[in-house]
């Protein structure tokens, strides 16, 4: 395709959207029967039409899809969805369009109808709209215990008004009709955000609205959240009208947007003769949705950079939308992060309207929102800083050790505490105390656990899968795996009690299990000399039957009866595989009836299933990022995407790339531990 605009050519993955090679409108690229693309009803489309007529080919009109991006296009956010139309364009009712043809000809099966209903419900539940940026919180008291009618204004001169066969004066007709239809209701006029920002004019003056005793909506509410509070909605040509239909609201149309004239809207003027022949059949909401959102719009995954379906795109948007709701501020200070951590922290927090600044030594103000790593976050809280999010690695982290500066694919941002601190509540603990899985969540986590087990995944995914495991196992005895940890790690300092060293753990396990076969597996960071906790072999040779340094812990899982640990994440990984776990401290997974615990935590009163524990720990609590999503400006992905990425790395036997600075850091750290 020859595109007649530089901006179109610069859209990330435009070739995937149009399923064609894309060239600029320079004559040397022209081929016979080559299509020409332009945008909407802008000059680029006029040029595309002219070139197409000259070359006896087709002009394709491109436009944003109905679920476009996280941020605004004018802020530089590229589209995740594009529509292509060779008949017209969906907002132009003056002529036929591919969408109009799809709607008029569509026939969907009962299965497709049910799929559409599920997707619509998910869109409503998660409030997924065209731009999925942080919106103002809705003040429910404004709308409570009364009938609310919404009248939607648009910017003056908006081309979609003209192409919907409407005019500026009809906005006044629409407002007066709403007032006349609902004399006992509160009439809300939604002002366009560009008008509020002073970047454009609307169709109503303040004096007119005051005289009519109507209420102004100046807040930037999510369109779906707003529609859910309304009894009825009045629109000219706004896409918000279709979102109101998705919410089950009566919609009055004073123009002819793409969703009007099919029997779903209350159309406030007679169907023009030019439309009577084209929109002469009634359609269901599901049929319009399938035609527009599933068939007409094209989606490209920011993860695979390949075409994908709406369901996958929704799955990608959900963690981004939900985490933005947690970040209730537009300015965040990242304090005390090392150089290598800064690079990936920026990726995880690259959200619309979030201004991230880094400070290394100069401390922020005490009332500023701050993100800080582990110990630094704890120190800030002790010093009276009020809004501190503690950052730590997630539980499906990487292919390689953090101590070797391997970039994480998963982090946790905890505004309450941190998961390894059993002395205080954390966001994870709160989630676990409240979790109730529905059927979809239950199915999802079961599938996720199965993928983790089948692909032999752990936090770091290190160690070799050797074949000589049987040689280190005594088949006539119960086999216990004792997992070593980094002794100065905060998880032991804050989650351990009377036992806080690897040697004391081994002694206690042997004392309680004199006739068992005990395997001790040191922590890889400790064995590589990067962290504290190494035990002299002579001290434990009479306490353990074997010390395993190289074998992957996943391979050992297949040959053990029990795992004993202070607070290691390997206990959680063992629970996923139905292995009995003894806890000598209080890790996040202890105290819920799934482990045999030396201690108790009075805040943890519930009995959980492994699925409930795993859903909170792997889906709800952490966030995930892959570097390849930066191009399309999507910070977060799903755990399923990270699992797929880790599997691809494993198949290529490729660790995440490290640098000279990574090598230097590991050498210096090893020397520091040694001396």
pLDDT tens digit string along 496-525? Answer: 999 999 999 999 999 999 999 999 999 877
Q: With respect to residue 528, please indicate whether it lies within any of the assigned structural domains.
A: yes
- What the block records as the tokens of 520 is 């001790």
The band of 433, judged by pLDDT with boundaries at 50, 70 and 90, is: very high
Cβ-Cβ contacts under 8 Å for 540 (sequence gap 6 or more): 503, 506, 520, 547
The band of 442, judged by pLDDT with boundaries at 50, 70 and 90, is: very high
**Total structural domains within the chain:** 2
The band of 530, judged by pLDDT with boundaries at 50, 70 and 90, is: low
Q: How far apart are CA 231 and CA 508, in angstroms?
A: 67
Q: How far apart are CA 100 and CA 93, in angstroms?
A: 9
User: Which of 262, 281, 300 delimits the end of a domain?
Assistant: 281
Segment 533-547 mean pLDDT: 88
CATH number, domain of 164, equals 3.40.50
Q: How far apart are CA 521 and CA 551, in angstroms?
A: 9
* CA geometry: angle 289, 292, 298, nearest 5 deg: 125
Segment 129-135 mean pLDDT: 95
Predicted TM-score of the model (pTM): 0.92
**327 contacts 351 by C-beta, under 8 angstroms:** yes
Which stretch of DSSP H or E encloses residue 663?
helix 660-674
Give how far Cα 196 sits from Cα of 190, 202, 203, 259, 523, Å: 10, 9, 13, 27, 57
Query: What pLDDT does 537 receive?
Result: 86
Query: What pLDDT does 468 receive?
Result: 67
30-60 residue pLDDT tens: 667 789 999 999 999 999 999 999 888 999 9
3-state secondary structure at position 48: helix
675 pLDDT higher than 50: no
Q: How far apart are CA 545 and CA 543, in angstroms?
A: 7
User: Which of 218, 250, 281 delimits the end of a domain?
Assistant: 281
Query: What pLDDT does 551 receive?
Result: 84
85 pLDDT higher than 50: yes
**363 contacts 357 by C-beta, under 8 angstroms:** no
Q: How far apart are CA 371 and CA 344, in angstroms?
A: 13
Give how far Cα 668 sits from Cα of 531, 532, 671, Å: 11, 14, 5
Q: With respect to residue 435, please indicate whether it lies within any of the assigned structural domains.
A: no
The band of 467, judged by pLDDT with boundaries at 50, 70 and 90, is: low
Cβ-Cβ contacts under 8 Å for 90 (sequence gap 6 or more): 63, 83, 97, 98, 99, 100, 258, 292, 296
483 pLDDT higher than 70: yes
Give how far Cα 155 sits from Cα of 191, 202, 618, Å: 9, 5, 44
29 pLDDT higher than 70: no
**Where in the sequence is the domain holding 490, given as residue range(s)?**
463-620
**428 contacts 608 by C-beta, under 8 angstroms:** no
Query: What pLDDT does 577 receive?
Result: 98
Q: With respect to residue 203, please indicate whether it lies within any of the assigned structural domains.
A: yes
The band of 669, judged by pLDDT with boundaries at 50, 70 and 90, is: low
Segment 209-219 mean pLDDT: 90
Comparing 653 with 73, the larger pLDDT belongs to 73
Q: With respect to residue 91, please indicate whether it lies within any of the assigned structural domains.
A: no
Q: With respect to residue 582, please indicate whether it lies within any of the assigned structural domains.
A: yes
β-partners of residue 325 are none
User: Which of 597, 620, 643 delimits the end of a domain?
Assistant: 620
Q: With respect to residue 572, please indicate whether it lies within any of the assigned structural domains.
A: yes
Instruction: Name the least confident of 78-92, 170-184, 242-256, 326-340.
Output: 326-340
Percent of the chain with pLDDT over 90: 79
**560 contacts 518 by C-beta, under 8 angstroms:** no
Q: With respect to residue 641, please indicate whether it lies within any of the assigned structural domains.
A: no
Query: What pLDDT does 484 receive?
Result: 94
Q: With respect to residue 100, please indicate whether it lies within any of the assigned structural domains.
A: no
CB count within 10 Å of CB 582 equals 20
Query: What pLDDT does 466 receive?
Result: 59
């Amino acid at each position: 395709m020859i595109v007649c605009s530089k901006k179109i050519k610069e859209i990330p993955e435009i070739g995937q959207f149009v399923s064609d090679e894309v060239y600029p409108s320079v004559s040397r690229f022209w081929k016979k029967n080559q299509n020409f693309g332009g945008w909407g009803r802008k000059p680029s489309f006029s040029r595309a039409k002219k070139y197409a007529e000259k070359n006896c080919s087709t002009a394709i009109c491109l436009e944003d899809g109905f679920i476009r991006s996280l941020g605004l296009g004018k802020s530089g956010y590229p589209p995740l969805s594009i529509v292509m139309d060779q008949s017209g364009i969906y907002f132009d009712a003056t002529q036929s369009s591919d969408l109009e043809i799809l709607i008029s000809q569509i026939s969907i099966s009962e299965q497709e109808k049910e799929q559409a209903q599920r997707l619509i419900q998910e869109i409503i539940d998660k409030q997924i709209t065209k731009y999925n940026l942080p919106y103002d919180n809705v003040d429910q008291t404004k709308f409570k215990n009364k009938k609310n009618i919404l009248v939607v204004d648009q910017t003056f001169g908006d081309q979609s008004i003209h192409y919907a066969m409407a005019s500026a004066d009809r906005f006044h007709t629409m407002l007066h009709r709403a007032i006349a239809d609902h004399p006992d209701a509160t009439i809300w006029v939604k002002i366009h955000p560009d008008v509020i920002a002073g970047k454009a004019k609307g169709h109503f003056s303040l004096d007119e609205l005051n005289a009519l005793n109507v209420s102004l909506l100046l807040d930037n509410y999510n369109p779906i959240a707003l529609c859910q509070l309304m009894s009825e909605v009045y629109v000219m040509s706004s896409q918000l009208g279709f979102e109101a239909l998705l919410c089950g609201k009566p919609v009055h149309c004073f123009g002819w947007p793409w969703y009007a004239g099919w029997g779903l809207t209350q159309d406030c003027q007679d169907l023009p003769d030019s439309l009577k022949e084209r929109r002469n059949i009634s359609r269901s909401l599901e049929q319009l949705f399938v035609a527009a959102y599933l068939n007409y719009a094209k989606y490209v995954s920011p993860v695979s950079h390949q075409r994908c379906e709406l369901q996958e795109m929704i799955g990608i948007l959900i963690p981004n939308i939900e985490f933005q709701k947690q970040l209730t501020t537009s300015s965040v200070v990242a304090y005390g992060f090392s150089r290598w951590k800064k690079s990936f922290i920026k990726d995880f927090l690259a959200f619309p309207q979030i201004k991230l600044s880094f400070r290394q030594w100069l401390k922020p103000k005490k009332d500023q929102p701050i993100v800080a790593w582990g110990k630094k976050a704890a120190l800030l809280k002790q010093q009276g800083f009020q809004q501190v999010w503690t950052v730590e690695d997630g539980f499906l982290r990487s292919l390689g050790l953090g101590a070797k500066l391997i970039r994480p694919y998963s982090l946790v941002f905890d505004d309450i505490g941190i998961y390894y601190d059993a002395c205080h509540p954390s966001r994870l603990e709160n989630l676990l105390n409240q979790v109730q899985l529905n059927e979809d969540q239950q199915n999802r986590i079961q599938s996720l656990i199965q993928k983790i087990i089948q692909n032999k995944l752990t936090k770091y995914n290190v160690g070799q899968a050797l074949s000589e495991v049987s040689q280190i196992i005594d088949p006539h005895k119960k086999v216990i795996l004792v997992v070593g940890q980094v002794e100065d790690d905060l998880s032991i300092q804050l989650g351990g009690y009377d036992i806080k060293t690897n040697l004391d753990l081994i002694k206690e396990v042997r004392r309680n299990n004199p006739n068992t076969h005990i395997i001790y597996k040191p922590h890889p960071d400790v064995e590589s000399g990067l962290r504290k906790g190494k035990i002299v072999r002579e001290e434990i040779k009479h306490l353990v039957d074997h010390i395993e340094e190289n074998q992957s812990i996943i391979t050992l899982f297949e040959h053990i009866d029990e795992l004993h640990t202070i607070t290691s994440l390997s206990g959680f990984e063992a629970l996923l595989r139905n292995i009995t776990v003894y806890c000598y401290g209080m890790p996040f997974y202890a105290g819920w009836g799934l482990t045999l615990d030396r201690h108790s935590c009075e805040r943890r009163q519930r009995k959980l299933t492994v699925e409930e524990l795993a859903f909170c720990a792997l889906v709800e609590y952490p966030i995930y990022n892959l570097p390849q999503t930066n191009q399309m400006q999507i910070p977060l992905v799903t755990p399923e995407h990270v699992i797929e990425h880790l599997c691809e790395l494993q198949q290529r036997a490729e660790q995440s790339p490290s640098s000279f600075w990574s090598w230097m850091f590991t050498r210096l750290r090893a020397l520091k531990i040694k001396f």
